[in-house]
Chain A
Amino acid sequence: MIKVEVFSSPGCAKCMQAKAVLKAISEELGQDKVTWREVNILEEMDYAVDLGVMSTPAMAIDGELVFSSLPSASKLRTELDKRLR
């Protein structure tokens, strides 16, 4: 099971649409294969710092900061496919 975590702050308008597209990609692969969690950076600042998040939005996969800004849909798809193989 792959764990995708998106770090952002509530009310970030520019993140909303991009997040929706990326969430749809992870859901396409099946919720039994990929879990999606949205992390409120203000509530989990310590965890974000643990992973090395320096700015938001950012994305971690399986507890590792993989994208320091939100990736394109194709980049996320490639990354998830690679991990599912």
Chain B
Amino acid sequence: MHTIGKLAQFAEVTTDTVRYYEKEGLLLSVKKTDAGYRLYDEDSVRRLRFIRQAQKSGFSLTEIRELLALKNSDAACCSDVRSVAIEKKLQLEHKIRALQVMSRALTELVTICDDESKPLDECPILAALETSMIKKMK
């Protein structure tokens, strides 16, 4: 059995993170010591590492909850998990597109600013942003 501090250390997170996951229902302490301290077993360690790894792969806590439910469901199979992964990949591809559009817009703005010594009120980047805001409002 591990204390919350040890569990956090194993997964390289803070104890606050462990408490937060527990509050969100992603993690459960197995029992408490006589003094009321939470104790966790090896399964909690694996579960916490799973949560961290999934978060690093871009899954939200809601999606991780879904993955954990699939993991523990007798009726689920590998293709269910694969579907979740494909859906996540689609979302990431959409995000990448949106970020590329933003990046191109910023490149254009940086290009129009050819004189860095101009005073702030003549900054073409700020002017361009202001103009695009006015255009949107019209």
Interface residues of A (CB under 8 A from B): 9, 11-13, 41-42, 45-46, 48-49, 52-56
Contacts and interface: CB of A to CB of B under 8 A. Distances in A.
B90 interface: yes
Contacts of B87: 54-56
A56 B87 CA distance: 7
B82 A54 contact: no
Nearest to A56: B86
Contacts, number: 32
Interface residues of B, number: 11
B79 interface: yes
The majority secondary structure among interface residues of chain A is loop
B86 A42 contact: yes
Chain A CB within 10 Å — which of B79, B83, B89, B91 has the most? Answer: B83
B79 A45 contact: no
B82 A9 contact: yes
Contact of A45 (B82, B83, B93): B93
